[in-house]
Amino acid sequence: MKLTKTYLTIWILSTLLFALVLGGVNYVIDPLKYYHQAPGTRELTGFEQSHKVWQVKMRQPETLVLGNSRTLYGFDVSRLQGEQRFNYSFPGPTIEEVEKQFENMQYSTQAKTVYLVVDGICSSGKTSSRDLSGLFSTNFEWLKAEFMRAKYLISLDTLKASFKAVNKSIFYDDFGRRVSFVFSAQSGEKLSERVKIREGFYIKRGKNSTQCNTEIYERLLTKAHTSGINISLMLNPTHVRLINISAQSSIPLNSHLNMKRAIVSVNAAVAANLNTKPFPIYDFNLINQYTTEPFDLVSNTEPKYWWESSHYKKALGDKLVDWLNTPENERDASIGVSLAPQNIDQHINLQLRQLADWQQANPAAAIESMQRIEN
Q: What is the pLDDT of residues 159-189, one digit of tens each?
A: 999 999 998 999 999 999 999 888 888 889 9
* Amino acid 11: pLDDT: 83
What is the pTM for the complete model shown? 0.91
pLDDT digits (tens, 9 = 90+) for 271-329: 999 999 999 999 999 999 999 999 999 999 999 999 999 999 999 999 999 999 999 99
The span from the CA of 150 to the CA of 145, in Å, is 9
pLDDT digits (tens, 9 = 90+) for 196-218: 998 888 887 766 665 678 899 99
Angle at 333 between CA 330 and CA 336, to 5 degrees: 105
* Amino acid 365: pLDDT: 79
The C-alpha torsion from 133 through 136 and 141 to 144, rounded to 10°, is: 60
Question: Which region among 101-110, 176-185, 203-212, 341-350 has the lowest average model confidence (pLDDT)?
Answer: 203-212
* Amino acid 249: pLDDT: 67
pLDDT at 361 over 60: yes
* Amino acid 209: pLDDT: 60
The answer to whether the beta carbons of residues 371 and 244 sit under 8 Å apart is: no
pLDDT at 3 over 80: no
* Residue 327, helix vs strand vs coil: coil
pLDDT at 253 over 50: no
* Amino acid 248: pLDDT: 76
The model's confidence at residue 255, banded by pLDDT at 50, 70 and 90, is: low
pLDDT digits (tens, 9 = 90+) for 56-97: 999 999 999 999 999 999 999 999 987 789 999 999 898 889
Alpha helices in 109-228 (DSSP H): 139-153, 156-165, 191-207, 215-227
pLDDT at 354 over 60: yes
pLDDT at 142 over 70: yes
pLDDT digits (tens, 9 = 90+) for 319-335: 999 999 999 999 999 99
Nearest to 36 by CA among 162, 214, 198: 162
* Amino acid 100: pLDDT: 92
pLDDT at 375 over 70: no
The model's confidence at residue 254, banded by pLDDT at 50, 70 and 90, is: very low
The answer to whether the beta carbons of residues 64 and 56 sit under 8 Å apart is: yes
Share of the chain above pLDDT 90, in %: 66
* Amino acid 15: pLDDT: 86
The span from the CA of 327 to the CA of 231, in Å, is 17
Sheet holding 63-66, edge to edge: 85-87, 63-66, 113-117, 230-235, 281-283, 337-339
The mean pLDDT of the chain is 89
